Amino acid sequence: MPPQIHWQKQLPQEAIDVFSQEGGLLVCPTKVGYIIITTDRKGLERKFDAKERNRNKPGVVLCGSMEQLRELAQMTPEIDELYQRHWDEDILLGCILPWRENAKANLVQDGREELMMDKRGTSCFVIRFGTPGEQIAAHRWEQEKQCVFASSANPSGKGNRGLVEGIGERIASHVDLIIEADDYVASIQPDKTIDTRYEQGVMVSMVDKNGKLIPEQHGERSISPAPVLIRKGLDVDKIMMHLSDIFPSWDYRHGEYY
């Protein structure tokens, strides 16, 4: 089994060491549970093997700053405003977006695009996912201009219940490091139990069926295609409020993409 450390509120040197080598893979805590993270093609292959996961879903890109998000993803000013509000209020948010062409070109160099995008060329770009992971994502981007990619750290289709022991033996045996912080995860939803807590973040699709960015609405009604909330999760009520403030038209279709 890999080494396991407890998160001490600072970026651990052990995590830096994992990603100094090609194919590094580790388990990290977030606001809603544990995830597997990596930074390159070899690590992505190891991640899919560890999870025995289908490859039909869009990849998750963890952004450690708004500046990084803007460099990677195509956005309209309205989508940018939505992200900025959630960044300022420290609210976990993920949106399905197309990649900027120059950012996509960097992924093509080692074949990562095959494992990080769906067939439409989109991925889920996530912000404010929790301090431990944000520290890693920000460090990799600032030091190496390297993206951090993620999946939930549990057998595909099963939750880890916000506990490091819930990641399962297979995942635990396939990674290089486990960062444990059950106390941090529990602190995000202190009024919830293991059975009532959210185990995922909200996901909003900002593209049409072909992966093209939705049009701006400029306050007008009945604009289509529009944002579609395709997965409910932590702080869904706050996110729906902000969606309603910025987009007069948006839809709620939980599970639509999958």
pLDDT digits (tens, 9 = 90+) for 33-60: 999 999 999 999 999 888 876 666 678 9
* DSSP H helical ranges for the chain: 13-18, 41-51, 66-72, 77-88, 101-108, 113-116, 131-144, 169-174, 182-188, 236-246
| Average pLDDT of the residues in 242-250 | 97
Give the whole-angstrom CA distance, residue 172 versus residue 207.
Answer: 35
| Average pLDDT of the residues in 176-196 | 95
Which of 26-30, 192-196, 210-214 has the least mean pLDDT? 192-196
Q: Is the dihedral of CA 20, 24, 28, 33 positive or negative?
A: positive
The confidence band for 156, taking pLDDT boundaries of 50, 70 and 90, is: low
Helices 236-246 and 77-88, interaxial angle, to 10°?
140
pLDDT digits (tens, 9 = 90+) for 94-134: 999 999 999 888 777 777 778 888 888 899 999 999 999 99
Distance of CA 15 to the CA centre of its chain: 18
CATH topology of domain 4-252: DHBP synthase (3.90.870)
pLDDT at 116: 83
pLDDT, averaged across the chain:
93
Of 114 and 205, which is predicted with more confidence?
Answer: 205
pLDDT value at 244 more than 70 = yes
- Burial status of residue 1 (CB atoms within 10 A of its CB: 0-12, 13-18, 19 or more): exposed
What residue type is 1 in one-letter code? M
CB 14 within 8 A of CB 3: yes
Q: Where are the beta strands (DSSP E) in 185-255?
A: 203-205, 228-231, 251-252
pLDDT at 174: 94
The residue assigned the tokens 């399962």 is 168
Q: How many CB atoms lie within 10 A of CB 256?
A: 13
The confidence band for 78, taking pLDDT boundaries of 50, 70 and 90, is: very high
CB 205 within 8 A of CB 213: no
What residue type is 207 in one-letter code? V
| Closest of 233, 231, 238 to residue 199, by C-alpha | 233
| Average pLDDT of the residues in 61-90 | 98
pLDDT digits (tens, 9 = 90+) for 222-239: 999 999 999 999 999 999
CB 4 within 8 A of CB 175: no
pLDDT at 54: 65
| Average pLDDT of the residues in 170-182 | 96
pLDDT at 55: 63
pLDDT at 48: 87
Give the whole-angstrom CA distance, residue 60 versus residue 257.
Answer: 14
Name the pTM for this structure: 0.94
